[in-house]
Amino acid sequence: MRKNPLVENEYYHIYNRGVDKRDVFLSDRYFERFLLAMDLLNDKKDGLMIRWRDYKENHPRESVQNFLAANVKQRNPLVEIIAYCLNSNHYHFVLKQTADNNGIKIFMQRLGNSYTKYFNEKNQRSGVLFQGRFKSMRIGPNNFLRMSVYVNCNSEIHGIHPARNYRWCGFPEYLGKESNQLCKKEVILSQFKNSQEYFEYAAENIADFRERKQDEKLWLE
């Protein structure tokens, strides 16, 4: 049991990395599979991944959006995904706990188990992939906007890739450059006049994070 239970309607920074700091996303295909799982496993009713797999076999050219439109009348998410970033050996989320105080736990367990199984099958390995149970930190209201930048723009903070066109984070979605609808971005963007103002706010904070080196040393201890 967690020392500090995850509380309904609170926001949390969720993060973890590969066991032995190993890379867990080896190519675009791995990133894409993780994003797919983020979407289809975030529902109180389990089984969407299996239904998508069966649907894809009979409709190989169809998109997951078309599958959901045709087969799922209403989504009942376990969590609200506010921000995210996937780097080669670790991930970050900002999540809102929404489902009976267990939403984050269920979502992250499903996500970790599903992706580990996929990774192990592709690489003919067995055993754990991530470094123990996911880590969590409650986000206070005074740090909420800044944490959204830390997570959405983590690839840039680490010097990996500019966040504005990094395919594996939520920042392009915030800027209207990505059609994915994984993020509940209105809770952040409602605090700004428009996405450009959020972009400028993010740029200031990215520079500050990099200058003060508040990246892996701070959040991945």
CA dihedral 81, 114, 15, 168 (to 10 degrees): -60
Closest CA to 157 of 96, 90, 112: 90
Name, in order, each residue with C-beta under 8 angstroms of 209's C-beta and a sequence gap of 6 or more.
149, 150, 157, 215
> Taking the mean position of all CA atoms in its chain, how far away is CA 17?
13
Task: Name the DSSP class of 101.
Answer: T
- Per-residue confidence band for 3, with pLDDT thresholds at 50, 70 and 90: low
* Domains, the chain: 11-25+78-219 (3.30.70.1290)
pLDDT at 115: 98
Contact 135, 12 (CB under 8 A): no
- The count of other CB atoms within 10 Å of the CB of residue 1 is 3
Return d(Cα 5, Cα 111) in angstroms, integer.
19
- The count of other CB atoms within 10 Å of the CB of residue 167 is 14
Return d(Cα 111, Cα 95) in angstroms, integer.
14
Could you read off the pLDDT of 22-77 as tens digits, one per residue? 999 999 999 999 999 999 999 998 899 999 999 889 888 888 888 888 888 888 99
Could you read off the pLDDT of 93-103 as tens digits, one per residue? 999 998 677 89
- Per-residue confidence band for 172, with pLDDT thresholds at 50, 70 and 90: very high
| pTM for the whole structure | 0.91
pLDDT at 220: 44
Could you read off the pLDDT of 65-78 as tens digits, one per residue? 888 888 888 889 99
pLDDT at 101: 74
Question: Mean pLDDT across the stretch 208-220?
Answer: 63
Q: What are 95's two structure tokens? A: 């999540």
Residue 217 has pLDDT above 70, yes or no: no
> What is the maximum span of the chain, computed from C-alpha positions, in angstroms?
52
Cβ burial 27-47 (10 Å sphere, 16+ → b, else e): eeebbebbbbbbbbbbbeeee
Residue 8 has pLDDT above 80, yes or no: yes
